[in-house]
Amino acid sequence: MESQVRGGTRWKRFAVVMVPSVAATAVIGVALAQGALAASFSVSGQSFKVTAKELNGTGFSQYGAVDQGTTLSGEKTGHAVAVSAFESAYIEKMCQSVVTPSVPFVGDITLRLEAGDSSDQKKQVYAKNLYIDVEDLQADAEFRNIDIGVAAGDMKNGPGPGMKGGKEQANPNGFGQQAESATLKNVKQTAWATTAGTFKLSGLHMSLHKGKGAGVECY
């Protein structure tokens, strides 16, 4: 067993099974009430769903933020999110779907993207400096060499890519966590934004479907 010191705390090497967004969302709620989080990254008025059979990532970090967007009626709105970041990630059997509601003469239309349907990592989805602004996450997750409760502003010195930067703003003294690597299986999540320095979609299939819900969307 090996150990290391981060932020004055000695953490032994271990793996933990958890859904980190639960803790992050609780802290985000407190920060919002205190006005500690600034509105950040602009997004559309629609969230989208993502599933994956397995995600294997290195350099994981996560912190709370607020995405500023516009509703379909044109009103400004904000969304509390847990930004999950990976320095690099391989994703097996990824599906992403977004619904465009009430299209004239047609009704609801779901755009669905699928890629990486292979157990061969070379044929999976690959992302570098990946940031996912997550509203809800379900998964079986294992994190290795994890620090929980690190200040978000200190993550730039950790194993992950750090905070997103640019237009995004979050409380640098707020909740954060980071790990050297992570494996997430049976992933289901709702997100408001995804950004990446590199996003390679092997075996991409894009399709449009009439309707929405289970059997049309990714879940």
DSSP secondary structure code for residue 98 in this structure? E
Residue 163: what pLDDT?
81
φ, ψ of residue 196 to 5 degrees: the values are -155, 145
- pLDDT recorded at residue 45: 67
pTM: 0.77
The backbone torsions φ and ψ at residue 152, rounded to the nearest 5 degrees and listed phi first, read -55, -35
- pLDDT recorded at residue 44: 60
Task: Report residues of the chain scoring pLDDT below 70.
Answer: 1-45, 72, 165-169
The pLDDT value recorded for residue 168 is 58
Closest CA to 109 of 18, 209, 184: 209
CB 133 within 8 A of CB 124: no
CA 72, 78, 82, 84: dihedral to nearest 10 degrees?
60
pLDDT, residue 5, reads: 40
